[in-house]
């Protein structure tokens, strides 16, 4: 097991480097560079040439990447071309917001998907199944921003500010800046709508997946045997059937992290949250190459680490699975 984890951790390095290199190339291929934004009204071609040289943007792309990598190895994530702010510092300020959003949206998805998927499978072709399937279809079909706007209209505008529309309040003791709000209740009220907007689409997908897995598992021989031995329905479903049916669901959950990060860009922008999603999209729009690299690096790391954790949970769900 330890060897397996070590091997997977080592695999992270080329994966992340590959991703950052591809992102590096893609950003340099997009028209426009950050120098025009940097100089603004004062733009002159002469100053632009000087600024490009100053930031090393006149060097060949591969050389630029090697320079970035060299700094990264020394723990230097670089500084924003536009603001001069250290990228790592900004990433660390924003990471907790997005992590909490993603975890809670996944929790929202599971809270909806597990009972709906089980009911759908156990009551196949009944009104309960049709309802779960229909809701799942609707959930998959509605984009995050639309659900978010609906939530805003109902809970912030319609109910006179019942839930805050925007911003962020940190969990007590986690405020990363000099000035910020921190309280448990404030945090919960701020994350509720964004997590629901982001999680409901995943819930729909996981419901359909879990229903299909459950249908397959409850028809297997070992489940029939368990029932024949006189086990009550609840342990049959939850102890025997669900654990096995969850394996493909957990796999998809890990893969969904990428979609959640993408969805976080939309949801964080809508709810004006100071998370990594808004950081990433602002950086891309402004062609702030250093910030884009920081965003790509942290999201790639998050994605591969979470998928490693997902793989490790297989051993809990199915003890027959052993890594060596």
Q: Which residues bind other proteins (CB under 8 A)?
A: 30-34, 36-45, 47-48, 51, 79-80, 82-86, 90, 93-94, 149, 152-153, 156-157, 160-161, 164-168, 177-180, 269-272, 274, 278-279, 282, 285-287
- Is 83:76 a contact under the CB 8 Å cutoff? no
**33 and 43 in contact (C-beta within 8 Å)?**
no
- Report the nearest approach of other proteins to the CB of residue 179 (Å): 5
In contact, 196 and 271? CB cutoff 8 Å: no
Total length of the chain: 324
Nearest-angstrom CA–CA distance, 53 and 39: 14
At its nearest, how many Å lie between other proteins and the CB of residue 218? 45
Q: Closest separation between CB of residue 296 and other proteins, Å?
A: 17
Closer residue to other proteins in complex, CB, 158/172:
158
- Shortest Å distance, C-beta 184 to other proteins: 19
The three-state secondary structure class of 15 is: helix
86 or 254: whose CB is closer to other proteins? 86
Nearer residue to other proteins within complex by CB, 77 or 279:
279
Of the pair 24, 271, the CB lying nearest other proteins is at: 271
Q: Which is nearer to other proteins, 167 or 172 (CB)?
A: 167
**Least distance in Å: CB of 255 to other proteins?**
28
Per DSSP, the three-state class of 175 is: coil
Structural contact between residues 104 and 191, judged by C-beta atoms closer than 8 angstroms: yes
How many other CB atoms sit within 10 Å of the CB of residue 88?
A: 17
C-beta of 180 vs 231, nearer to other proteins: 180
What is each CA distance from 252 to 8, 206, 266, 313, 316, in whole angstroms? 19, 8, 21, 13, 17
Q: Which is nearer to other proteins, 14 or 40 (CB)?
A: 40
Q: How far apart are CA 167 and CA 275, in angstroms?
A: 10
Token pair in block for residue 173 = 């003791």
Contact criterion met (CB below 8 Å) for 91 and 182: no
Which spans in 124-183 are helix H? Answer: 127-141, 144-151
**Minimum separation from the CB atom of position 190 to other proteins (A):** 11
With contact defined as beta carbons under 8 Å apart, do 282 and 75 qualify?
A: no
CB 214 within 8 A of CB 241: yes
The distance of closest approach from Cβ of residue 152 to other proteins in the complex, given in angstroms and rounded to an integer, is 5
């Amino acid at each position: 097991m330890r060897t397996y984890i070590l091997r997977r951790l080592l695999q992270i390095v080329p994966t992340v480097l590959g991703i950052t290199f591809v992102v590096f190339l893609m950003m340099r291929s997009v028209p426009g560079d950050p120098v025009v934004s940097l100089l603004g009204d004062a733009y002159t071609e002469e100053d632009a040439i000087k600024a490009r040289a100053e930031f090393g943007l006149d060097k060949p792309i591969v050389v630029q990447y090697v320079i970035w990598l060299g700094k990264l190895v020394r723990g230097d994530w670089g500084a924003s071309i536009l603001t001069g702010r250290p990228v790592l510092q900004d990433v660390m300020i924003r990471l907790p917001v997005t992590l909490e959003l993603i975890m809670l949206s996944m929790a929202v998805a599971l809270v909806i998907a597990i009972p709906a998927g089980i009911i759908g499978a156990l009551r196949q072709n009944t009104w309960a199944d049709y309802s779960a399937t229909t809701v799942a279809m609707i959930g998959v079909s509605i984009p995050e921003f639309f659900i978010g706007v609906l939530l805003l209209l109902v809970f912030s505008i319609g109910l006179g500010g019942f839930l805050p529309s925007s911003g962020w309040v940190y969990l007590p003791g986690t405020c990363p800046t000099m000035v910020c709000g921190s309280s448990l209740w404030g945090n919960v009220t701020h994350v509720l709508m964004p997590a629901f907007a982001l999680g409901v689409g995943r819930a729909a997908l996981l419901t359909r997946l879990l229903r299909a897995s459950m249908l397959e598992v409850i028809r297997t021989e070992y489940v029939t045997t368990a029932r024949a031995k006189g086990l009550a329905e609840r342990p049959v479903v939850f102890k025997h059937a669900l654990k096995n049916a969850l394996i493909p669901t957990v796999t998809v959950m890990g893969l969904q992290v990428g979609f959640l990060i993408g969805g976080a860009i939309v949801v964080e922008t809508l709810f004006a949250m100071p998370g990594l999603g808004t950081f990433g999209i602002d950086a891309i729009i402004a062609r702030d190459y250093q910030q884009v690299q920081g965003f790509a690096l942290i999201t790639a790391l998050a994605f591969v680490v979470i998928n490693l954790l997902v793989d490790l949970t297989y051993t809990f769900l199915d003890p027959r699975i052993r890594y060596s």
